[in-house]
Amino acid sequence: MRVTYDGGIRVQDGLREIVLDPSRKTPGSVVSHGHLDHLTSGGMMTPETLEVLRIRKGTGDGVELPYGKEVDREGFAVRLSDAGHVFGSAMVRVDDLLYTGDFNPEGGATCGKAVPEKVHTLIVDATYGKPTFNFPPKHEVEADLLTWLEMELADGPVALGGYEFGKSQELIALVNRLGVEVAVSDRIADLADAYVRHGIRLQYRRLSDLSDAERRDPRVYILPPGWLRPPLDESVSWLGSLRLRAAYVSGWAAFFDFSRRYGLDAQFPLSDHGDFEDVMGFIEACAPRRVYPVFSHAPDLAREVERRLRIRAEPLRGR
């Protein structure tokens, strides 16, 4: 098989070709998940991702492929398995090749886990592909976040900022453990509604449903990151008058000081990706003969795979 990046990850074998995570609508392609840097219409994807596509882009078509079902696509045997990244995210098996997409072997409250598969060729996400990119234990970060919330809620409502798809719904599930009311923006709620339709239990209210009298009650607001500081959209300008204690939640909080930069009260390094050691362990468990790291820190990861695991590795020059 030949693997290149040209408007998507192109897998070629003789006259056969399939494109994974194309940058534009490509019939016959496969889409790994619903984050906008991967999400296009026209391809094959999980039913969950197809629903996310229609919510996030307002329209879109695709071919549904549930986890575990193998089909013929462009002459290849294609099967999707849970990537553990976000709701509906998938690793893509193409004959004896596996593309992880964005993935997490630890998984989350609203998705499963990425499980290694023995393959000849592995295309692996390198978002956290540098050896210095490692997170504290996930259960410790979650415990710290919940403790902080309990303390701050004694003085009034609190805001958490996270990406509107994936992170925000994970935060809803996490805060639900406290039995505290959660209110979210309508865009976050639209996506959370899809989770509920697919059997994932989340409890939340929409900001737009709160009465004026309810707005100052102790609760957790889960908001897009840009809403943690002014200027706010006129429809939610009232949030600025609440003097919310606010925290940003992202894996990148393990390496960058967002609190000082944006005037926030706290930050928590909770990621929906695997960190460097997770990625290296996953690669070793797959025992591939060839590895293609892709995205972000692909050259760094390729060097470490060759040095530590003695597996041939070549970075794909993608977006």
Burial of 270-295, coded b for 16+ CB within 10 Å and e otherwise, reads: bbbbbbbebbbebbeebebebbbbbb
* Local confidence pLDDT in tens for the 319 residues of the chain: 899 999 999 999 999 999 999 999 999 999 999 999 999 999 999 999 999 999 999 988 999 999 999 999 999 999 999 999 999 999 999 999 999 999 999 999 999 999 999 999 999 999 999 999 999 999 999 999 999 999 999 999 999 999 999 999 999 999 999 999 999 999 999 999 999 999 999 999 999 999 999 988 999 999 998 888 777 777 788 888 888 899 999 999 999 999 988 889 999 999 999 999 999 999 999 999 999 999 989 999 999 999 999 999 999 975 5
pTM for this model (two decimals): 0.95
- Going by their DSSP bridges, the two strands 63-64 and 90-94 should be labelled as unpaired
Q: What are the structural domains of the chain? A: 2-133+273-313 (3.60.15.10), 138-268 (3.40.50.10710)
Q: Which residues contact 140 (CB under 8 A, 6 or more apart)?
A: none
What would you report as the CA-atom Rg of the chain, rounded to the nearest whole angstrom? 20
What is the DSSP annotation of 114-126? Answer: ------SEEEEE-
Q: Which residues pair with 290 in a beta bridge?
A: 121, 312
Q: Which residues contact 293 (CB under 8 A, 6 or more apart)?
A: 124, 125, 126, 129, 299, 301, 302, 305, 313, 315, 316
Nearest alpha-carbon partner for 202 in 236, 232, 172: 172
